[in-house]
């Protein structure tokens, strides 16, 4: 038995969308249902992925579940990135509890003091009073990696240029104006050593997908995309207790997904990868953790063209999180983009003949949690 994705939907990531949560979730759910050519009444249950703290509402799913079509249905909310919600939905399908599941995630993060909001995600006893927030935490991680492996500004800038130029032809991308190498190297610092072009923006947007049992997927869909590998992992909560230059949770989540999918050499068996590139340095570290290259060699992949759309293993042909970051929906968006690629529907950022895709997400400070999904057509 397998589980297949039979429909996807997303809305364009922007800054300061004016739609309320329920409006966004309705638009996203309708898009996914229309893509699958089914009605909301055909859905057995709804699984949401969203952060209360980021959205600024307690039990935020009370605003979104109705718009997502969850009225009088079994519904579950995962207070994390949407890719973790997909893992929960997959378990429900494979256990036989459900036949058709709507997985939906929205992110409204461009308004409000994000430094204060992300500081509140930390424990109140050891970390919060230090004034630490996401920008500072990712900058600390980037600095450690840069110093350990002697990453030049030019090598980091080339990743930003690659992803932002990929986003130019993605109709759903937030930062879709492109970027030159000079613009990347001359951009203002956001939180040293990261320039504003080297880190993900705050975006508003969202996406959804329809996950179904193998029997139902074969009956209603001509080209379902099958989940062939899935893994997730957690590591220590405290940033000071781990090597910030190694994404351990990403490594172990990927190893579990590879084992399930029967992948022996990820660098040659995967055709397209959508990674959670919070910063350019996170793309380098993630490529290493996923086994695309040796430790410390991730800095060369974009420079050598390995991760370009026409390269050996295209990474983030959609533009990645560096171009669109609707927090809590960013990881699920990676999977939606993989589905479009494998179905040959990725518009002008299509990777030719893509048959196997990898979607990956991280969550928590210092990549405390990670989830990896392998899909095949």
Listing DSSP states for 310-344 in one string gives: TSSS-B-TT--TTT---TTTHHHHHHHHHHHHHTT
Read off φ and ψ for residue 49, nearest 5 degrees.
Answer: -130, 115
- Looking at residues 330-352, what average pLDDT do you find? 96
Q: Do 309 and 224 contact (CB within 8 A), yes or no?
A: no
Q: Before 263, cis peptide (omega within 30)?
A: no
- Residue 18 pLDDT greater than 60, yes or no: no
Residues pairing with 195 in the sheet: 189
- Tell me the C-alpha distance between 27 and 42, whole Å: 17
Q: Say which range, 16-20, 121-125, 203-207, has the weakest mean pLDDT.
A: 16-20
**What percent of the chain lies above the pLDDT cut of 70?**
92
- Looking at residues 84-104, what average pLDDT do you find? 96
- Alpha helices (H) in the chain, listed in sequence order: 21-36, 52-55, 61-64, 82-94, 114-119, 134-149, 153-167, 181-186, 214-220, 248-261, 266-269, 280-289, 330-342
Q: Do 335 and 209 contact (CB within 8 A), yes or no?
A: yes
Average pLDDT in the chain: 90
Strands 3-14 and 204-213, bridge-based pairing: antiparallel
**79 pLDDT tier (thresholds 50, 70, 90):** confident
- Residue-wise pLDDT for 27-74, tens only, equals 999 999 999 999 999 999 999 998 777 666 666 667 777 777 777 788
Q: Closest by alpha carbon to 248, among 360, 373, 358, 367?
A: 367
- Residue 241 pLDDT greater than 90, yes or no: no
What does DSSP assign to residue 127? Answer: T
- Residue 22 pLDDT greater than 80, yes or no: no
Question: Cα-atom radius of gyration of the chain, to the nearest Å?
Answer: 19
Q: Say which range, 87-101, 179-193, 230-244, 273-287, has the weakest mean pLDDT.
A: 230-244
Q: Closest by alpha carbon to 360, among 326, 325, 335, 324?
A: 335
pLDDT of residue 155: 97
- Looking at residues 160-165, what average pLDDT do you find? 97
- Looking at residues 84-105, what average pLDDT do you find? 96
**17 pLDDT tier (thresholds 50, 70, 90):** low
Please name the CATH architecture into which domain 3-112+205-220 falls. 3-Layer(aba) Sandwich (3.40)
**23 pLDDT tier (thresholds 50, 70, 90):** confident
- Tell me the C-alpha distance between 353 and 327, whole Å: 30
Q: Say which range, 24-38, 43-57, 85-99, 356-370, has the weakest mean pLDDT.
A: 43-57
pLDDT of residue 201: 92
The pair of structure tokens assigned to 308 is: 């370009």
Q: Closest by alpha carbon to 328, among 149, 157, 137, 83?
A: 83
| Higher pLDDT, residue 206 or 21 | 206
Q: Do 362 and 88 contact (CB within 8 A), yes or no?
A: no
- Tell me the C-alpha distance between 29 and 206, whole Å: 10
Residues pairing with 373 in the sheet: 230, 359
Read off φ and ψ for residue 232, nearest 5 degrees.
Answer: -140, 160
Q: Say which range, 69-78, 216-225, 230-239, 303-312, has the weakest mean pLDDT.
A: 69-78
Q: What angle do CA 322, 115, 286 make, to 5 degrees?
A: 35
- Residue-wise pLDDT for 98-135, tens only, equals 999 999 998 877 666 667 667 667 767 777 777 777 78
The pair of structure tokens assigned to 184 is: 């990347």
Q: Do 79 and 50 contact (CB within 8 A), yes or no?
A: yes
Q: 3-state DSSP call for residue 252?
A: helix
- Residue 224 pLDDT greater than 70, yes or no: yes
**169 pLDDT tier (thresholds 50, 70, 90):** very high
Q: CA torsion 244→248→250→253, rounded to 10°?
A: -160
What does DSSP assign to residue 350? Answer: P
- Tell me the C-alpha distance between 348 and 346, whole Å: 6
Contacts of 246 (CB under 8 A, 6+ apart): 285, 288, 289, 295
Q: What angle do CA 317, 318, 321 make, to 5 degrees?
A: 110
């Amino acid at each position: 038995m397998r589980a297949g994705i039979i429909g996807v939907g997303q809305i364009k990531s922007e800054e300061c969308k004016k739609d309320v949560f329920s409006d966004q979730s309705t638009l996203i759910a309708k898009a996914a249902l229309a893509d699958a050519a089914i009605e909301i009444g055909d859905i057995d249950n709804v699984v949401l992925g969203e952060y209360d703290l980021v959205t600024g509402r307690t039990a935020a799913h009370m605003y979104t579940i109705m718009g997502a079509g969850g009225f009088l249905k079994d519904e579950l909310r995962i207070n994390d990135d949407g890719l973790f919600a997909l893992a929960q939905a997959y378990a429900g399908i494979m256990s036989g509890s459900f036949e058709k599941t709507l997985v939906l995630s929205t992110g409204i993060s461009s308004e409000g003091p994000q430094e204060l909001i992300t500081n509140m995600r930390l424990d109140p006893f050891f970390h919060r009073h230090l004034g630490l927030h996401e920008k500072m935490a990712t900058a600390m991680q980037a600095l450690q990696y840069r110093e350990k492996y002697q990453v030049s500004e030019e090598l980091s800038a080339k990743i930003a240029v690659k992803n932002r130029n990929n986003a130019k032809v993605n109709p759903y991308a937030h930062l879709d104006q492109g970027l030159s190498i000079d613009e990347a190297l001359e951009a203002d610092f956001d939180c040293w050593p990261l320039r504003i072009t080297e880190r993900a923006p705050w975006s508003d947007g969202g996406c959804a997908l329809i996950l179904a049992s193998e029997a139902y997927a074969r009956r209603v869909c001509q080209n379902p995309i099958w989940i062939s590998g899935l893994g997730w992992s957690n590591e220590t909560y405290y940033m000071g207790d781990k090597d910030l230059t190694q994404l351990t949770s990403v490594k172990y989540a990927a190893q579990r997904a590879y084992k399930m999918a029967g992948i022996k050499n990820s660098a040659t068996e995967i055709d397209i990868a959508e990674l959670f590139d919070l910063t350019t340095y996170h793309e380098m570290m993630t490529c290493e953790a996923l086994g695309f290259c040796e430790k410390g060699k991730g800095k060369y992949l974009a420079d050598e063209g390995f991760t370009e759309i026409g390269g050996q293993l295209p990474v983030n042909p959609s533009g990645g999180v560096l171009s669109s970051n609707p927090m809590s929906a960013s990881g699920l968006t990676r999977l939606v983009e993989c589905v479009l690629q494998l179905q040959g529907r990725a518009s002008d950022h299509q990777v030719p003949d893509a048959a196997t895709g990898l979607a990956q997400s991280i969550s928590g400070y210092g990549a405390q949690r990670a989830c990896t999904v392998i899909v095949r057509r």
